[in-house]
Structure 1
């Protein structure tokens, strides 16, 4: 009895109508596989900024060539760092067709191909110093990386029991920070142990993602297809078997029958209420139906406000930001950056496990944005008062040194807030607000906006430092962060405690009420039927003679 008491699944919520068998190793195995797709973007963000700061890479590609002006040097650096985002824009656009036509599993496998080929082209540029090859490799890798942000969260949201959907999709963001952290430490380790004259100093760290790509590819062959995608394709029996595998329940279990019936009913209602089944019909449906336009508004606002809030730029250009606030030396900057990776990774886990499904989406997001706002405002004030802190030979008073230490701490504080808020929620928002029929299309457009804005912010940051000064840039980030906090409070709906089908119904409210709806308590009755599933009694099993007949 004592063992049973302490070995209960910590993620099982007795008050919900989801049976305890649904929280099983098969679910977490699938979650692990598709969450790791998030590491693709994380590796790139963690590696490219630290790679660009290493002398071996900088010298080979003339990033600090004295014959180039400051603006030309900044432009070359931003071209290298942001080329992946250009590829990601294309990747996010094609992800809709890949995920809907091929299915979530094959979409994942083909994006890994682009990711690996692009990495190989980029790494092999170390042999000849071709800047064009660097651009080409990073662009091709971006085509694969851009698709991960659509395929991964969509699959995770579609297989997760609704009480832990935030936790499950949150692991995708956590994997992104795992990639960032590994990338930071790989670059730091190579800077300590490999000579600045050896191209292996940057090639070895940038080879690390190849191993993770291979692991994801192999694990994908052990996963079932998304049951919701199978229902959409009319493969009801396959969907029933896939869901039974993930839930670890018999195929004829009443809960499986009810969940499949619920998905089928929602899809039928969408098809009856909308404009046909063609791809063009889906596009018209997305842009002409008011509830879907509100969803697009949420996607647009979330991507613009998050990507221009500055925290993403700090991730990519972390060594440069630490230098701006007074961290001296290449190795010291890389060590500070590596610690930032740990802070963000731990923060993302805290958000996924303790905040998103317990406190709610909006409270978690508002908490993270508020922390980020405090950090950005402090750094802006500090750089306004002491603009020379990062220049060579600058002499500081004791009080200025203390203030500089505070600014360094605020970089970590900003990363903490970003990981708790925007970065953890931006994938979840896109994965759960769109109805099944247009989920892949809506997520694809959302992530296209995401990467377009990420490209813009990463490309602009070096020029912003020159045009606005570092202090002015931080004030800009603080203003956008404040605007984001207000926007979330008034417009973003609370999805905690709702099934994907219930979220769909939420958007039928008048637009000015959607963002003000409070979270729902765990249902007292099953959302898949009239009966609560009592785990103390054996559940009934359903015999379904026709795919469209509900048990």
Structure 2
């Protein structure tokens, strides 16, 4: 997503890269910090002895199966809320706007986080269940609206960098979430306050997000133009770009937005349901939607969210003993994943493409999982506990971190990139909503299944995740074309190629030949004949500046 060299689509005034556009993106990306934190802290929080004792969840009061059922409910209520929140985010963002939609999601999240703090031994887990559902609704809506908003207000040359802040924010939140419980066990006496602090910390990113929106975020000019509020759109764009209304660059951008909005109305139609009819009524778009949203099934099939939500269980199965040791090991996992995400964002995704790194991630990750499964099968740490980790266990942990590296530089953020770039602008808000909903749906499935998988399958859990990564390889090879360097206007041409493996090379050669045939002249590159006799042409964005 992020390049090391700024490549502009046209001569751009230096004022465009001002603090205002960065502040809008950073505040919006704060939503990802609360998403990452909430995904990471809960597994280690419910494993704290202080939490178990207060809510009578120790081995002396309930069975392992009962604890698995309760922990599954605590974790999965959040994903259920996220799923419905992602769906709700579309009408909220369309009707109330991106800014008010983000503010609503922040307030709902803070309300849910606050409700969780009412839980104690006498009240039971009810406030945690209810609070996590509400927090999930807020997070689901934010996961839909944040990338959309950032992409709409970003200058083209730094759009990848600014959208990349969303993924970085997610990893920063996750890193804090993985370490928070290690910190409280080391410095806070065991008791109510010890487990309550990680729950209360949710309010920090949520509060920053909610308070920052009114002061730093300006409503998306693109959304304002779609609502007929042109003067307000120009005013906001002037502030975001740091330019006056009569600047040639700003006039050109407003004209481009006008053209795109009118094009979407002509191609897709007007009304709330028009994009849905376009996506579900045309097979080529619906097929593309199925392939792209299925990437989140394969992403969760790597085992990432089993580890995010149940890391103490994961490390216990390998032979890691002791609460502090398990929490420390989880923290190291978070550090490696964050560093890997930064490398992916700055050095890999825009340089090595999408499909290739998914394949490398699947092969490397599968090897790591198979090695861990083999060690657990042979050593059986659960029935042969040791006070220190044996050499075989050290090897298994090393391969676990190898798996983490391969995941972080491949499947971690790439499905989001693919889903954001392969659909026409007129339907992208709907496809983004469905992509976010697919992510949370598979999160929910994994969060519900993981405890039962470990109790019944043992080392077979790692075989399952390894096999899922192997099965993802033919899916990517035969169904997912490489999208690197393909203009957004040419995605239909790419996906219409029957030779999926070489589609990128074929389309790039065609574009080069067309450019050489009529050098310097505008050309119409995209011809969509998928709807019978209707033909729609879109001018390549690379030619608009010519």
Which category of TM-score, normalised to the shorter sequence, fits these structures? Answer: 0.7 to 0.9
Residue 181 of structure 1, aligned match among 175, 181, 199: 175
RMSD between aligned residues: 2.8
The answer to whether structure 1 residue 393 and structure 2 residue 385 are counterparts is: yes
Worse overlay, 90-99 or 289-298: 289-298
**Within 5 A, what are the aligned runs for 1:331-350?**
331-350=324-343
Seen in structure 2, the aligned counterparts of structure 1 residues 503 and 455 have a Cα distance that, compared at 3 Å, is farther
CA contact (8 A) 1:228 1:436 kept: no
Query: Which residue is 2:21 aligned to?
Result: 27
Worse overlay, 212-221 or 102-111: 212-221
Worse overlay, 256-265 or 151-160: 256-265
- Hey, what's the Cα distance between the residues in 1 that align with 2:357 and 2:218? 31
Q: Secondary structure at the match of 2:351?
A: coil
Query: Which residue is 1:311 aligned to?
Result: 304
Query: Which residue is 1:5 aligned to?
Result: none
**Within 5 A, what are the aligned runs for 1:494-513?**
494-498=482-486, 500=488, 502=489, 505-506=492-493, 509-510=496-497, 513=500
Q: How many residues align structurally?
A: 516
The answer to whether structure 1 residue 169 and structure 2 residue 157 are counterparts is: no
Q: Secondary structure at the match of 2:56?
A: coil
Partner deviation per Cα, 1:9-60 (whole Å, 9 max, x = no partner): 9855357436263433333222211222111221112210110110111122
Residue 396 of structure 2, aligned match among 407, 420, 426: 407
**Within 5 A, what are the aligned runs for 1:132-531?**
132-196=126-190, 198-221=191-214, 222-274=216-268, 276-386=269-379, 388-391=380-383, 393-394=385-386, 401-469=390-458, 471-498=459-486, 500=488, 502=489, 505-506=492-493, 509-510=496-497, 513=500, 516-518=503-505, 527=541, 530-531=544-545
Partner deviation per Cα, 1:68-98 (whole Å, 9 max, x = no partner): 4432221111111111001111101101111
Higher relative CO (Cα under 8 Å, sequence separation at least 6) belongs to 1
Seen in structure 2, the aligned counterparts of structure 1 residues 340 and 395 have a Cα distance that, compared at 3 Å, is closer
- 5+ residue gaps, structure 1, are 1-8, 533-551
Q: CA deviation at 1:356?
A: 1.7
Worse overlay, 122-131 or 335-344: 122-131
Query: Which residue is 1:4 aligned to?
Result: none
CA contact (8 A) 2:37 2:173 kept: yes
CA contact (8 A) 2:340 2:405 kept: yes
Seen in structure 2, the aligned counterparts of structure 1 residues 273 and 512 have a Cα distance that, compared at 3 Å, is farther
- Hey, what's the Cα distance between the residues in 2 that align with 1:180 and 1:385? 33
TM-score for both structures, normalised by structure 1: 0.86
Seen in structure 2, the aligned counterparts of structure 1 residues 395 and 479 have a Cα distance that, compared at 3 Å, is same
Q: Secondary structure at the match of 1:327?
A: coil
Q: Secondary structure at the match of 1:130?
A: coil
**Within 5 A, what are the aligned runs for 1:68-83?**
68-83=62-77
CA contact (8 A) 2:497 2:503 kept: no
Partner deviation per Cα, 1:241-271 (whole Å, 9 max, x = no partner): 4344333344333333333333333332332
Query: Which residue is 1:114 aligned to?
Result: 108
Partner deviation per Cα, 1:414-450 (whole Å, 9 max, x = no partner): 2222222222123323333333332222222221121
The answer to whether structure 1 residue 89 and structure 2 residue 89 are counterparts is: no
Worse overlay, 125-134 or 247-256: 247-256
Worse overlay, 298-307 or 146-155: 298-307
Worse overlay, 12-21 or 92-101: 12-21
- 5+ residue gaps, structure 2, are 521-539
Partner deviation per Cα, 1:464-493 (whole Å, 9 max, x = no partner): 112222x11111101111222332333334
CA contact (8 A) 1:166 1:428 kept: no
CA contact (8 A) 1:37 1:148 kept: yes
- Hey, what's the Cα distance between the residues in 1 that align with 2:217 and 2:5? 22
Q: Secondary structure at the match of 1:84?
A: helix
- Hey, what's the Cα distance between the residues in 1 that align with 2:243 and 2:262? 25
Query: Which residue is 2:56 aligned to?
Result: 62
- Hey, what's the Cα distance between the residues in 2 that align with 1:268 and 1:73? 56
Seen in structure 2, the aligned counterparts of structure 1 residues 514 and 285 have a Cα distance that, compared at 3 Å, is farther
Q: CA deviation at 1:101?
A: 1.1
- Hey, what's the Cα distance between the residues in 2 that align with 1:96 and 1:437? 14
CA contact (8 A) 1:170 1:425 kept: no
TM-score for both structures, normalised by structure 2: 0.86
Worse overlay, 87-96 or 245-254: 245-254
